[in-house]
Amino acid sequence: MNDPDTDLVNEFKHGRHLTDELDHRPFATVWRAAQQTVVASRRRYRMFMAAAVLVAAAVISVSMQVPSPAVPVYIEVAELLDSTNWVAPSDVLLPDRQFDIYQEIPVLHQPTEPARGALL
């Protein structure tokens, strides 16, 4: 009497040709296609890397050419340390918009509540 496992395996072997022996693309063809895919992807990668390097170089060269905006310095630390005399650079600190105090009176917030009998 046959082993039940052997019977089962034989059943499979009988039907095996249905999948394995279906005519499929020969190995050489699939292999060649795979090799071409690898070569093409490497070429794409190399081109991408070259383009990335060019872009990076262009960005660096452009950024080096553009002068950085001057940051206004109100107090020169070195100058301050070198002397015992210092005057505030009042011109620099003046507001951009100036007004004529005789013509335009700025609206100032004033409290209307008296404090101890007098307006603040």
Partner 1 sequence: MRDRDALDNNPHISRSALEAMHSQLFGWALSRCGMQRTAAEDLVQQAYVELLSGNARFDNKSSLKTFVFAVVQNLAKSRFRRLATRMRLVQQYQVADDVVDPTEPSAQNNIWIAVRELPTRQRDIVELVFCRDLTIEEAAAVMRVSVGTGRAHYDRAKKALREKLKEWSETDR
**Closest residue by Cα to residue 36 from 46, 44, 24:** 44
**Residue 15 makes contact with partner 1 by CB under 8 A:** yes
Tokens for 100?
């004529």
Cα–Cα–Cα angle for 18, 15, 23, rounded to 5 degrees? 15
**Residue 113 makes contact with partner 1 by CB under 8 A:** no
> How many residues can be counted in the chain?
120
CB of 77 to partner 1, least distance (A): 58
Question: Which of residues 14 and 97 has its CB atom nearest to partner 1 in the complex?
Answer: 14
Pinpoint the alpha helices (H) of 21-95: 27-65, 77-82, 90-93
Q: Which of 1, 18, 66, 105 binds partner 1 (CB under 8 A)?
A: 18
Residues in the interface with partner 1 (CB under 8 A) total 27
Q: Which residues bind partner 1 (CB under 8 A)?
A: 4-5, 8-9, 11-16, 18-22, 24-27, 30-31, 33-35, 37-38, 41
